[in-house]
Structure 1
Amino acid sequence: MTAGTRRVRYEKRGRVAYVTLDRPDVLNAMDLRMHEELADVWDDFAADDRLWVAVLSGAGSRAFSTGQDLKERVRDGGRPTTFGSRGQPGWPRLTERFELVKPVIACVQGYALGGGFELALACDLIIAGENAVFALPEARLGLVPGAGGVFRLVRQLPLKTAMGYLLTGRRMSAAQALHLGLVNEVVAEEELDGSVARWVDELLRCGPLATRAIKQAAMRSLDMPLADAFSARYEWEERRSVSQDAVEGPMAFVEGREPVWQGR
């Protein structure tokens, strides 16, 4: 791979950003340059008011991503890492963009291992092909899932189930992930693009300010007592509640038509 080759493809189609990890020859392992490119992509996605949804996938059919490029790490001296990416290239990475309120869909086929699985866990929805395989194998390498896998898995699965996968590094099939509620849908590989397109269409039918307000409120209130969740301040709900869209939605329903969202 030449020095000028980009690691990430970024396409804008209408309201949707398509982000593709593009190192299929190494199963979309993430090197430092890929992280730097991804940071620019997520900055642009967050700032572009024309974009309402993002779809994150890996190039080729073999892997979503196998995580950190360990060959690069060893070649560069194997600098120890710990939780989070602050101070490293590409910070804040998607796994630490806690204020990103636009919905992100992970489209997973093949391997989603280590940091690749952590990327998927940081997305709002996961649509997986039947060939998808998930794992956090860091313990087998004397490492920790430092991009949020430790923290997200114990929040998204029952504790004992999560600890089983974290402490052993064992793999999880797409069917197991669906059964455990980690993914939203599992389809045949040839149906994956169509399934993602249907989810995107459903998201775009919803008010963009509403989806952002819902995401922000849901994520911020995860660890709050219920009474505190009701009284907390959510900036995007404040924007939605006084927006044109908050009037347009009920009006369109009464008039028997599809709403025309302005996003303001």
Structure 2
Amino acid sequence: MHNTPLTSKDAAPATLQLSVDAGVAWVELHRPEVLNSFDDTMLRELADLWARLRVDDEVRVVVVTGAGEKAFCTGYDRSGLDTEDTEDAEDTEDTGDADESTAVLKASSPFLRADVGDFLGPKSCGLWKPVVAAVNGIACGGAFYLLGESDIIIAADHATFFDPHTTFGMPAVFEPLHLLRRMPLGEVLRLALLGSAERMSARRAHEIGLVSEVVPGDRLRAAAGAVAATIAALPPLAVQATLRAIWIGSEMAPGQALGVAHALVAAGTDPAALAAGQQAFRTGNRPRWRLR
């Protein structure tokens, strides 16, 4: 099957900015006038973009960030909701909204509703290529769908994190469930239960392991780009198998995960890439490293 590259004649998305350089796709959430909150259009466009990136062999790594310096993403854009339909509006923030959202939200059963994570999350959309999140400001609410499915998170020193659901009378459910993979239980509880009354700093997010690096705002793009470029230069099959292994290990019991390890090694080994790596090892042609 022919893989369609991002340079095809597909219409440019209205809510995203996209560029590709040396195997790295830069995805910018581009609604700065509403702090990069997402609406139905962005949900559809992100789901479509993740699907396109999945089959574009020129793209090996993705960096996702937000437009401007104020916000990475502030969740669902409630300003566009129908104020006369309060009950459905509240459901939108918690259970999600997406393509054909009105029909989904008014379904007779909550089990028939879609969740925004089905459209926002790269892994939920089948994109198993490394995703680096560059958090350039506020990240709250629905932003944790993206951060929860990112692989490496780098934050500007002015970035902040919080979940406003409980402040507005809504249960925080999907977002803290995503965060439990990345944060200690007590920190997830504090973030979710205090709502808008408290924000976590980039420094604290680094201390607890939510983010792996904090840099000055003017160095955020360079720091994310350096990580992405390093990964993009590696054999993609080995990278993708490694990614799968780690995520499988985070979701399965240890014995179950080890049971599929041999299959992942076999599927992720490219003989040509392995031979090149062995040759580099023998000749001493190894990459320079930096201390973090």
TM-score for both structures, normalised by structure 2: 0.79
SS at structure 2 position matched to 1:131:
coil
SS at structure 2 position matched to 1:222:
helix
Deviation at 1:90, TM superposition (A): 8.7
RMSD (Å), alpha carbons: 2.6
Residue segments in structure 1 that go unaligned for 5+ positions in a row: 260-264
Residue of structure 2 equivalent to 1:241: 269
- Provide, for residues 84-106 of structure 1, a one-character-per-residue CA deviation record: whole Å limited to 9, x for no partner: 66646894331661743210011
Q: Residues 175-214 of structure 1 correspond to what in structure 2 (within 5 A)?
A: 175-214=203-242
Residue of structure 2 equivalent to 1:255: 283
Q: 2:39 aligns with which of 23, 31, 34?
A: 31
1:164 paired with 2:190, answer: yes
235 and 56 in structure 1: CA distance in 2 versus 1, 3 angstrom threshold:
farther
Alpha-carbon contact 1:10-1:41 (below 8 Å) kept: no
SS at structure 1 position matched to 2:242:
helix
117 and 229 in structure 1: CA distance in 2 versus 1, 3 angstrom threshold:
closer
216 and 27 in structure 1: CA distance in 2 versus 1, 3 angstrom threshold:
same
Alpha-carbon contact 1:134-1:173 (below 8 Å) kept: yes
Residue of structure 2 equivalent to 1:230: 258
Q: Residues 143-162 of structure 1 correspond to what in structure 2 (within 5 A)?
A: 143-146=170-173, 148-162=174-188
Residue of structure 2 equivalent to 1:262: none
Residue of structure 1 equivalent to 2:106: none
Which residue identity lines up with residue 174 of structure 1 in the other structure?
A
Q: 2:152 aligns with which of 109, 125, 129?
A: 125
Residue of structure 1 equivalent to 2:165: 138
1:115 paired with 2:142, answer: yes
Alpha-carbon contact 1:56-1:107 (below 8 Å) kept: yes
Residue segments in structure 2 that go unaligned for 5+ positions in a row: 1-11, 98-112, 288-292
Distance in 2 between the 1:97 and 1:136 partners?
21
Q: Which moved more, 1:42-51 or 1:98-107?
A: 98-107
Q: 1:61 aligns with which of 65, 69, 73?
A: 69
How many residue pairs get aligned? The number is 255
Deviation at 1:38, TM superposition (A): 0.8
Alpha-carbon contact 1:95-1:118 (below 8 Å) kept: no
200 and 152 in structure 1: CA distance in 2 versus 1, 3 angstrom threshold:
same
Deviation at 1:83, TM superposition (A): 4.5
Deviation at 1:233, TM superposition (A): 5.8
Q: Residues 85-96 of structure 1 correspond to what in structure 2 (within 5 A)?
A: 87=114, 91-94=118-121
Which residue identity lines up with residue 132 of structure 2 in the other structure?
I
Deviation at 1:234, TM superposition (A): 7.5
Q: Residues 12-27 of structure 1 correspond to what in structure 2 (within 5 A)?
A: 12-27=20-35
Deviation at 1:226, TM superposition (A): 2.3
Which residue identity lines up with residue 209 of structure 2 in the other structure?
G
Distance in 2 between the 1:61 and 1:234 partners?
44
Residue of structure 2 equivalent to 1:51: 59
Alpha-carbon contact 1:117-1:134 (below 8 Å) kept: no
Alpha-carbon contact 1:135-1:172 (below 8 Å) kept: yes
- The share of aligned pairs that are identical, in percent, is 32
Q: Which moved more, 1:226-235 or 1:190-199?
A: 226-235
Distance in 2 between the 1:11 and 1:235 partners?
34
- Provide, for residues 197-249 of structure 1, a one-character-per-residue CA deviation record: whole Å limited to 9, x for no partner: 22122212332212211111111122433222211268654322254223322
Deviation at 1:196, TM superposition (A): 1.2
TM-score for both structures, normalised by structure 1: 0.86
